[in-house]
Amino acid sequence: MKYLHPLMLAGTGSDVGKSIVATALCRIFRQDGYHPAPFKAQNMALNSYVTPEGLEIGRAQAVQAEAAGTPCHTDMNPLLLKPQSDHTSQVVLNGRPIGNRDAYDYFRNEGREELRKAVCTAYDRLASRFNPIVMEGAGSISEINLRDTDLVNMPMARHANADVLLVGDIDRGGVFASVYGSIMLQAPDDRRRIKGIIINKFRGDMRLFDEGRKMLENLCGVPVLGVIPYFKDIHIEEEDSVDLAGKAMHARQGMVNIAVVLLRHISNFTDFNMLERDPRVHLFYTNNTDDIRSADIIILPGTKSTVSDLYELRRNGVAQAVVKAYRDGATILGICGGYQMMGREVCDPNHIEGEIDRIPGLGLLPLTTTITGEKTTRQTRFRLVDEPDGKLLEGYEIHNGETILTDDAFSHVLTPLAVDEKGNLEGWTDKARLTGTYLHGILDNQAFINQILKPFETRIKSECKPFDIRQYKEQQYDLLAAHVRKYVDISQIYKILTDND
């Protein structure tokens, strides 16, 4: 195949759709016979994933790699920031945590050149193996106060000698000013790298923007390569949790009502994407105690800050509501940080997460957890203990902490939940209404979903048709690619990526 220049999707701001357009282009290049790979030098997200090598990257790049048809790798996202508070983040470099950093210190000059060298080296390795590289910027490219320390936007485009497409969000308003300002605030050399504009999230009659499109091209001297309509019927995993609270609440008749407790530092909320689409289930996110008490199943999800979120649940009454709901007959499932919360206590003697040494858990399982500085990250293939002859299922772990049974655990009727390929036991369940596990992605397995829904099968109205999560994802990537092909001039993008001028 012909060599294509690297391509960067830069943005006029955060959440304008860079990730989704990058995902679409990864799929389109793959469909057209190329061997693309995604790249984002620095990502800030709590929603992460584990590579086949057992290393951690941002979930968005894992999704883009899936769309590109290639296994994900840390070179696709060498630097990941996982916020722990309003001012601090855990810094993950090449898949491994290297410590916590204050935002002010992080964005000053100290140590930036070492990080710049690391992300550029990762890019170079990736570029030697794939064609083309679909790069993604972060936030806005016009944050001129951060220009000298920027690792991910135009400095990275310069290193890669990439062509840049600027993505603007028309739905939020002010798209003319944001696009024009973003281009005009660039240094002349960087401005020349911007070869096209994509307007995203358009609502209404496309013809109403025809004149605006011409005006924007005349103002900026850059062609508008496409205007992509807003869509709701294509489902691609999201990186940010900003919309979770808006998902439908309140119980529904004839369905299993599942409440995911909305934690302040919720992570890996994509654990519930497949469950949301199960026709037997009505799933919603909430921290309202009345909503929690109305649920059949309550899920305590993953969190970047178990101690902090557990403290908040105890303070706002949600912890008590979960325990009462269990006593009244609800099923409780804890995943990762939520699993840790289900135990007797969570201890943090080395203050990995903060200043609290110890906090009581919900007391639902006879467990105690000690937060540790070493992070466990691995992909896992396993079988449910209840189905020893069943097919191997898949999940992954990302956690700081060791969870063990308390001395009086023998008085509880508990069994391990799963056993992995090496014979290691994972998670605990009472085979009734309590289950805890470190396995993210366990709910992508139909066998486990069927297990937790089995107690409710007599009252479920709709039948569950077999659902293949991989096939579903592939269909969604193809739908996204078709949507973008329809509204973006892909032939012009190819011309840009092969033009030697």
Q: Of 282, 440, 464, 483, which one is the catalytic site residue? A: 440
Which residues are bridge partners to 347 per DSSP? Answer: 358, 370
Hey, how many other C-beta atoms are within 10 angstroms of the C-beta on 173?
Answer: 9
Q: Which helix (H) or strand (E) holds 189?
A: helix 188-193
**Tokens 């033009």, located at residue:** 499
CA 228, CA 276: separation in Å to the nearest integer? 26
Q: Which of 275, 223, 207 is nearest to 452 (CA)?
A: 275
Question: DSSP letters of 103-138?
Answer: HHHHHSSTTHHHHHHHHHHHHHHHHTT-BSEEEE--
DSSP state of 355: S
Does residue 64 contact residue 57 with C-beta atoms inside 8 Å?
Answer: no
Peptide bond between residue 223 and the one before it cis (omega within 30 degrees of 0) = no
User: Annotated catalytic, 87?
Assistant: no
> What would the two tokens of residue 172 be?
């939020």
For the CA atoms of the chain, what is the radius of gyration? 24
User: Annotated catalytic, 351?
Assistant: no
CA 94, CA 71: separation in Å to the nearest integer? 16
Q: How far is CA 317 from CA 290, 312, 320, 333, in A?
A: 11, 8, 5, 18
Q: 301: Cβ–Cβ under 8 A, 6 or more apart, which residues? A: 260, 261, 263, 266, 267, 268, 269, 271, 272, 335, 336, 337, 338
Q: Which helix (H) or strand (E) holds 485?
A: helix 469-487
Write the single-letter amino acid at 466. Answer: P
> What would the two tokens of residue 200 be?
């995203």
Q: How far is CA 417 from CA 406, 426, 437, 439, 497, in A?
A: 17, 6, 8, 10, 50
Strands (E), 389-464: 393-405, 415-420, 425-429, 434-437
Q: What's the length of the chain?
A: 501
Hey, how many other C-beta atoms are within 10 angstroms of the C-beta on 333?
Answer: 24
Q: Of 26, 72, 220, 336, which one is the catalytic site residue? A: 336
Per DSSP bridges, beta strands 224-229 and 194-202 are parallel
> What would the two tokens of residue 308 be?
């902090």
Return the active site residues: 336, 440
